[in-house]
Amino acid sequence: MSGLIETFRESTLLQCTFLEKLLDLKMEDVGSFSDSMVNFLAPSPGNKYVYGLAAGRSALALYSFLQLMQNHFDSVFPFTLEDPVQRHYRQGQNLGIAISGSGETMSVNKYIDDVISRGGEITLITANDQGTAYNMVNEYDKGSVLLLQARTKYATDKEQRARLSPLGTEFELQVLALLNALFKEIQTRLTGSCDASCPEYRATITDFQENARLIAEMDADHLKYWFSRLLPRSGRYIIGGVGRSGLVARAFEMRFTHLNKISYWERDFNTPSFQIGDVYLPITGIGNTYEALEGTVNALKMGADVMPITANRSSRLVSLLRKQNRTEDIAFIPVKPEYADLFSGDTSSTTWLMSDYTKFRYPIFEINSSIFTNSVVAVGAEFLGIVEAGMRRMHV
């Protein structure tokens, strides 16, 4: 297992460099994107509609941003690829945000075309300046493009990062961090403060980096044990989470499919009941989420293992596993000391509705848990002897 720990650390540190690259973006492009969002979000009569045009894990990164907007702005309503543009289009009240690393996702390009054909504004984030999506938006007079220099799932180079961050990890992590950092910049500009150097954006990315580096220093002996419990099993992997943590969990679940494992999202209609040999992986920063607690009780009752990913050592979830003498099965995600108070205590909700605390909490845990789970996938691929080309064949 010692080699796997080195893989884990290399993957984590590599992802830190992905975050660092976000500081190399032209600040005028970052400012332009922020200003377009400020213009859209500025108070005005009537409702406004944001179309999140993305698929796969890129969509999950974008949906985290859409949740932030919906949580902070009562009159802003997000829609996704499941909602046709034609159904909600209102002239002057719409904004399309498209995410496509390759620029060749057919469903995304179709919706981009729908927005353009109706004269709506659209912004694209992509890594391919030769892609179809880039050409469509770049040539459109109400379109703008933010270009990331990131490896996507279609990359065929043989660099080490293919082993340590397979199938587009770089692009998808950058999108998640970028949008969360941009939201901080947008909030500042909405107050009337505008600085061309984008200080809020830069400070947020730096903060993400500093938190992420802590993951590489997680206890090696505990990680060895955790990997030995997680990877060599033939049972099913059932992964859960709610809110923005739930989006991280869904991305993690996709990767178990790529590792040729049988995996389920906790609340899918076809998710089976727990049985002996299964493992339940709830991802919850505070560790007191009703759904995670309920899932843990059900899993333990049916004889399944529970291996949470959390940041709170004093949560009800931890107490449940302590009573079962299973605290070694918990992966505690580190955060900087100034954020420790955000992830402490055992106050539990009794409803799936998000509290104000959950809605507005700074997304440190979501970024760190994304990086942690990406590194776990790199470890899993090495342990199972699966190369990126094999994972690509399993990718939808």
CATH number of the structural domain 2-214? 3.40.50.10490
Tell me the torsion sign for CA atoms 194, 128, 48, 248: negative
For residues 380 and 161, which has the higher predicted lDDT (pLDDT)? Answer: 380
The span from the CA of 87 to the CA of 365, in Å, is 35
Q: Which CATH architecture has domain 218-394?
A: 3-Layer(aba) Sandwich (3.40)
pLDDT band at 355 (very low <50, low <70, confident <90, very high): very low
Residue with tokens 């009800």: 316
Cβ atoms of residues 245 and 365 within 8 Å:
yes
Cβ atoms of residues 95 and 103 within 8 Å:
no
- Compute the mean pLDDT over every residue in the chain, rounded to the nearest whole number: 89
Cβ atoms of residues 391 and 167 within 8 Å:
yes
Tell me what pLDDT residue 351 has: 47
Q: Where are the domains of the chain?
A: 2-214, 218-394
Q: Do domains 2-214 and 218-394 have the same CATH topology?
A: yes
Q: What is the pLDDT of residues 258-287, one digit of tens each?
A: 999 999 999 888 889 999 999 999 999 999
Locate 29 and state its tokens: 């492009």
Burial class (CB in 10 A: 0-12, 13-18, 19+), 372: buried
